[in-house]
């Protein structure tokens, strides 16, 4: 599943940044991709929709969130953690 999460997130980021997924690495930051705050909000919505999850993110204060957006790798890890927690909750 990890590979699918990473691929889906890279595709979402590429679409928003108008880049090829091949141009995005795990170390890429949103700034390096030219993604602004409005684009970030669109990305959050797209990720939530793609994985049927809720991301704890406050667009009014993006630096003060538990959802790490510092790199592609950190976004993938955070989404995987949310998916895992959601799956565990649904088993109970």
Rg (Cα) of the chain, in Å, rounded? 13
**What pLDDT score does 57 carry?**
79
Domain boundary assignment for the chain = 2-91
Name, in order, each residue with C-beta under 8 angstroms of 21's C-beta and a sequence gap of 6 or more.
7, 10, 11, 14
36 Rama sector, left if φ>0, alpha if ψ -120 to 50, beta otherwise: beta
Q: Which residue has the higher pLDDT, 89 or 23?
A: 23
Name the band, by pLDDT with cuts 50, 70 and 90, for residue 92.
low
The fold of the 2-91 domain, in CATH, is: 1.10.1200
Mean pLDDT confidence for 72-90 = 89
Say what the pTM is. 0.86
For 2-34, the pLDDT digits (tens) are 669 999 999 999 999 999 999 999 999 999 999
The residue whose two tokens read 């993604």 is 35
For 43-61, the pLDDT digits (tens) are 999 999 999 999 987 767 7
């Amino acid at each position: 599943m990890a590979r699918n999460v990473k691929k889906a997130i890279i595709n979402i980021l590429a679409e928003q940044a108008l880049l090829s997924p091949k141009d995005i690495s795990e170390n890429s930051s949103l700034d390096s991709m030219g993604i602004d705050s409005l684009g970030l909000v669109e990305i959050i919505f797209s990720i939530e929709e793609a994985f049927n999850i809720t991301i704890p993110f406050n667009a009014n204060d993006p630096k003060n969130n538990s959802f790490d957006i510092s790199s592609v790798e950190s976004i993938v890890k955070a989404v995987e953690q949310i998916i895992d927690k959601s799956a565990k909750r649904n088993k109970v």
